[in-house]
Each structure stands twice: as C-alpha cells, then as structure tokens.
C-alpha cells in the first residue's frame, strides 16, 4: 500500500504497491506483525494518502508501476483479444469495474510514458492518449503493458528499450521532488484505522496543495549536497533460515527497519513503523480496535465508516481468475461505478497521432487503432500476445478461495498455490 519515486540513469520511476479496496482506502497504515485475520488482508491495500502524495507531483514521470491495472485501461487496447483469453473478465470490462479507480486517477494525473502492471495474469498492451488542459500543453500518451504469469508457455517476459542518460551512474538515486513532497505531507501521516479524507479545495481545509515548490526542491538538493545516490545500507534484521534448526509456529515480531529509520531521520520524516510500534506498546492500536476487528470479520464492507469517495471495492480480485495466487479474502461486492477515464463510445480515441515527447514503442508492444477499437480484423498479434486456448468454464475449476473445512470450522487461512503440478508436467499447461 505504499508509494515511492526514484531515479535510475536519468529515468524517473514511480510506483504504488497493493490493490484497491474501498473500505481500507481511507485508513492509515496501522498494520504490523503479528497479523490477525483482518490486518493480514488490509496490509496490502492502497491508501488514499499514498495516492494523494503521488498526485502532488508535477514533473514528468517516465515509468510508473502498479500491481493493479488502472481501471478502464482495457478500453485502450485489444479488448477483443483480452476477453478471448480471459472470458471471465467480460462482465467487469463491460461495466467498467475491472481494475483500480485510484490507479486511474494517477494515470490521468501523472501521464507517464510507460505504465507496467501485473495482477491479472495475462499479457495485454494498450496505448492511451491523454487530453490536454490547454492549447499550450504538449499532448502526451501512455504505453501500458501487463505480462502473464511466470510459467511455461506463457508470455511473462518482454524486453523494452527505454531512453536514458548513458553518462549517469549505475546507482539508484533519490528523487528530489518526491522527497520534498514527503516532507510537505509529513503532517498527514496516520497510523490508526480511523477513516479520513485527504485535504481538498472544498472550503473545509486551510491547505490542500502540498506540491513541491522549486525552493523546496532546491532545499532537498542542498541537504544532500547535490548527491542523490541512495546509500547501500542494507542490514539483516532477522536470522537466515537454517534447515538444520527448523523453528515451526514462530510468531513473527515487529522489527523496526534501520534503513527506514535512517532515511526518515535524514529528511525529518515520521518513521511510520516506529510510530506503529509505539502505538502498539501504548495499547492505542490493539486496545481501541479489539471490538472493531470482530465486527469487521462479520461485516468486512466497513459499513460503520463514512462513505468512501469510491463506491466500489472491486479491483480485479472480484474477477474469479483461475490462475491467481491469493490470500483468502473477504467476500461481498459493493455497488459498482464507472470511472472518468473511460473513452466515449461515440468519440473513440485517436491513436494514429504522433507525439513529439513520446518515445518509439517497440513493435512487440504496439497496439493498432483497429485493435484498440475492437476491429473485426483477425490479425491481432501486434501486441506480441501468443494465441492461447480460451479459459475453461469456471464450473470446471476448483474454488480459489479457501475458508472453513467440510465440518464448517473456520481453520487457519493459508496461501493457496495454483498450478503447482505444472512445474512437473509441461503438458498440463496446455489444458488451461
């Protein structure tokens, strides 16, 4: 659920981890080991503060990465081929509820040159042209690519050449604007389960613009003496596994990461892990929310919370994907809504225009305008997607979620591994 921006050889790379769930979107980062049945799920959910911080960025982003697909991105690629390979996506694609609405917001705001995602276990390329806010603004476009699961006979690897500074060093570097944004938004840090909205220009907040000024960015550069190199300060915080000394049923402990501590101290930021640890010791996290956890187990939609700014908690996990490896998650769907990035069916996007600031897209990643608008042209291989047999019906698949046993006992929830036998027998992959 965290976000970040770094640089490598002049290429600016941003990303946000986790998936979108509306009932956890407006909570703080409060989870820490040992996890319970609620926090083991919510720990990987995207938070509104991370989206808010990324939306403060003004300088161009070269690459953005997310686990979840941005909602509506499937309208800008070969949707027909996507639904041929993953037919169980059809209902959510047609209702425009597949993917993360938070990621869609970021896609519209950041307009990165490339966007890479995972999660849905299928190779899919798209080309999205962004609208300009003024005549003076140069048009931008994003090339989206998701890859398949890392298994035999699957399209899980692709090489993309990206322009960079050949004279730059080979170390990761801090991004000065991102550090300035972190410093500006430090007062918004929240380590509780309380739901809250980010500041907006709605008359309720004295300040709502936390973007970095040129002076703030200059101060960050001066703090670092213009040396943005990220230090190689990795430190072991847990003993390596020793197979000769197995330690079963060990409860994980909450460890404060020294790298994070050093980073926060250097820039005067709140160490969220340390703050959570302090709150836990004081009993303000576990003690105050003990009863809430029981209620959320019975009603995981967060009905006691204020209404979310999104009225959906679907993010692709709501699609029953037979290939997925996932933790047991709460059930129940909320009302579905559409997202503003959906192109108008009456005015399909024009992908034929060329853009001066868009780098040449490799042929294997190209998507034609015919493909993007679901043309009847059957020559669909421009995205490099190999032909695959259409998925079996869901009734022939084993259930992917695990809950209680046959006697109705809840049991311990585990990670369920799909396609385990495929590593021993290649032919089984052909039956998927």
pLDDT digits (tens, 9 = 90+) for 123-156: 999 999 999 888 888 889 999 999 999 999 999 9
Q: What is the pLDDT of residue 13?
A: 98
Contact assessment for residue 9 and residue 168, using Cβ atoms and an 8 Å cutoff: yes
User: What's the sign of the alpha-carbon dihedral 240, 243, 245, 251?
Assistant: positive
pLDDT tens for each residue of 265-289: 999 999 998 998 888 877 754 455 5
Query: Can you state the angle between helices 258-267 and 214-223, rounded to 10 degrees?
Result: 120
**What is the pTM (predicted TM-score) of this model?**
0.70
What are the Cα distances from residue 125, in Å, to 118, 142, 264, 380? 12, 11, 38, 12
Helices (H) and strands (E) in the chain, counts: 12, 7
CA proximity to 141, closest of 399, 374, 350, 380:
350
Whole-angstrom distance between the N-terminal and C-terminal Cα of the chain? 31
pLDDT, mean over the chain: 75
């Amino acid at each position: 659920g965290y976000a970040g921006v770094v640089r490598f050889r002049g290429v600016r790379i941003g990303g946000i981890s986790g998936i979108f769930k509306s009932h956890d979107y407006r909570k703080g980062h409060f989870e820490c080991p040992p996890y319970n049945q609620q926090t083991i799920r919510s720990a990987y959910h995207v938070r509104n503060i991370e989206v808010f911080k990324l939306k403060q960025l003004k300088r161009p982003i070269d690459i953005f990465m997310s686990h979840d697909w941005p909602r509506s991105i499937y309208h800008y690629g070969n949707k027909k081929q996507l639904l041929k390979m993953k037919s169980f996506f059809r209902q959510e694609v047609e209702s425009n509820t597949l993917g993360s609405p938070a990621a869609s917001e970021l896609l519209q705001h950041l307009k990165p040159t490339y966007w890479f995602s995972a999660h849905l276990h299928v190779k899919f390329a798209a080309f999205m042209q962004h609208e300009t806010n003024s005549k003076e603004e140069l048009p931008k476009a994003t090339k989206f690519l998701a890859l398949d699961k890392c298994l035999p006979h699957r399209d899980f690897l692709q090489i993309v050449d990206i322009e960079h500074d050949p004279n730059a060093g080979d170390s990761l570097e801090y991004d000065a604007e991102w550090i300035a944004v972190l410093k500006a938004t430090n007062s918004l840090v929240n380590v509780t389960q309380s739901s809250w909205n980010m500041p907006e220009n709605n008359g309720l907040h004295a300040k709502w613009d936390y973007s970095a000024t040129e002076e703030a960015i200059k101060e960050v550069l001066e703090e670092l003496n213009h040396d943005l190199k990220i230090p190689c300060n990795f430190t072991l915080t847990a003993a390596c596994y020793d197979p000769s000394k197995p330690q079963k049923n060990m409860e994980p402990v909450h460890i404060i990461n020294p790298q994070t501590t050093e980073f926060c101290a250097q820039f005067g930021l709140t160490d969220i892990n340390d703050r959570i640890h302090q709150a836990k010791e004081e009993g303000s996290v576990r003690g105050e929310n003990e009863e809430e956890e029981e209620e959320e187990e019975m009603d995981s939609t967060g009905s006691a919370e204020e209404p979310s700014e999104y009225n959906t908690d679907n993010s692709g996990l709501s699609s029953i994907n037979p290939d997925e490896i996932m933790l047991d998650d709460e059930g129940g769907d909320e009302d579905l809504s559409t997202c503003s990035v959906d192109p108008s069916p009456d005015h399909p996007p024009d992908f034929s225009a060329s853009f001066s600031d868009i780098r040449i897209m490799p042929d294997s990643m190209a998507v034609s305008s015919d493909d993007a608008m679901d043309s009847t042209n059957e020559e669909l291989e421009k995205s490099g997607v190999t032909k695959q047999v259409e998925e079996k019906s869901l009734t022939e698949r084993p259930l992917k979620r695990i809950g209680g046993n046959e006697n109705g006992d809840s049991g311990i929830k585990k990670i369920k591994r799909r396609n385990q036998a495929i590593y021993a027998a290649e032919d089984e992959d052909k039956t998927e």
